[in-house]
Amino acid sequence: MGKVTSLREARPRPKAIEFFAGIGLARIGLQQSGFRIAWANDYEADKRDMYLGHFGETDDHTFTLGDIAAVDAADLPVDAALAWASSPCTDLSLAGGRAGLAGRESGTFWHFVALMDQLGGNRPPVIVLENVTGLATSHGGDDLAAAITAFNTLGYSVDVLALDARRFLPQSRPRLFVVGALNPPPDVADEGGPLRPDYLQWVFGDPSLRTHRAALPDPPAPRTDGLGDCVEQMSAADPRWWDAERTAAFAASLSPIQADRVDRLRHSRGVKFRTAYRRTRGGVAVWEVRPDDISGCLRTARGGSSKQAVVRLGNNRLQVRWMTPLEYARLMGADGYTLSGARNNQALFGFGDAVAVPVVRWLGDNYLMPLLRGELTAPEELTARVQ
């Protein structure tokens, strides 16, 4: 019997273009949803090198290295169905200076808007801005309102969603998604659901903004465990574990509550893994260990953040080390990503700045692809669509 072709394989693969592409995790998720990525841009050579190291160079894809301000709209594909923009979050995140969209890095969003404007009648029917949830409150909400207004000016109605990678992976990583549609689906009420929590409701109540709320299924419930499954297997004698002196300094920096928690886990049976961040409390650098089997949000060293450490506890043993690139990849849903040739910090920066793969996949499967195909309709038809 011949191979049976799935419905997804049989349908045409809509063309997508990605701005601020980083190392390509959005591309992986979009490809899994059936999109074909034709063009990508980023300004960091290290990220470009990882991107091409994983995907390779092909005739049907172009990677443009450089500032988005130097991109010419004439060089963009004119038949793209989707434009994805993971605009820099440094100026918008709680860890950054919160300069907003006028900031030197996050202000690059306006170059993306200008390119979409220059495409005129060739602009994609769907555009997506991905950013940190801090965009919803930056400058009292003015930055998000300005972004929505810019999309409205281009002809797009806008939906705004919040989605945490923890619904798919053992990592707490909430992100905001601004979805613009030239042909929006029917608007359905969603007052404080999991995708549009209370802090986003003002968007849909602002009469100056053109918005819609697509009928979508609820995402999976947040994960409560799974970190241990993502930890890279290595022996207790591996040199990446910190030496006795450094481990003792780690333990000495813990608060009494933290120290008690670590001590109880240390003397328990079996092996448990936790993650830890180094923070400054009262001018003093201290370590804080998460109480659950979930990773904190993976970050880069930019914007006042710190790298994440892995803590191994149990059977009267305490060991600590920095998290590895493989663990970063797994916690971003990119297990199998090509890491050969990438320097350690290069990989950590690349994954720390990225969007989690299964989050993009969920949006692609449940929102972006159905939106393009006209399959987002009334709520009563949702059940049949997702079955």
Q: Which residues are catalytic?
A: 89
Q: How many CB atoms lie within 10 A of CB 201?
A: 14
Q: Enumerate the β-bridge partners of residue 157.
A: 181
Q: DSSP string spanning 195-234? A: SS-GGGHHHHH-TTS-B-----PPPPPPP---HHHHSPP-
User: Can you tell me the distance from the alpha carbon of 248 to that of 242, in angstroms, rounded to the nearest whole number?
Assistant: 10
Alpha-carbon distance of 196 to 347, in angstroms, equals 32
In the chain, the largest separation of any two C-alpha atoms, in whole Å, equals 70
Q: What is the DSSP string of 79-109?
A: S-SEEEE----TTTSTTS---GGGSTTGGGH
Query: Which residues touch 115 (CB under 8 Å, ≥6 apart)?
Result: 19, 68, 71, 73, 76
DSSP assigned state of 169: S
Distance from C-alpha of 103 to C-alpha of 88, rounded to nearest angstrom: 10
Residues 320 and 300: their CA atoms lie apart, in Å, by 19
Residue 229 tokens read as 């499954």
Q: How many residues does the chain have?
A: 387
Sign, Cα dihedral of 151, 23, 137, 194 = positive
User: By the 8 A CB rule, do 120 and 74 touch?
Assistant: no
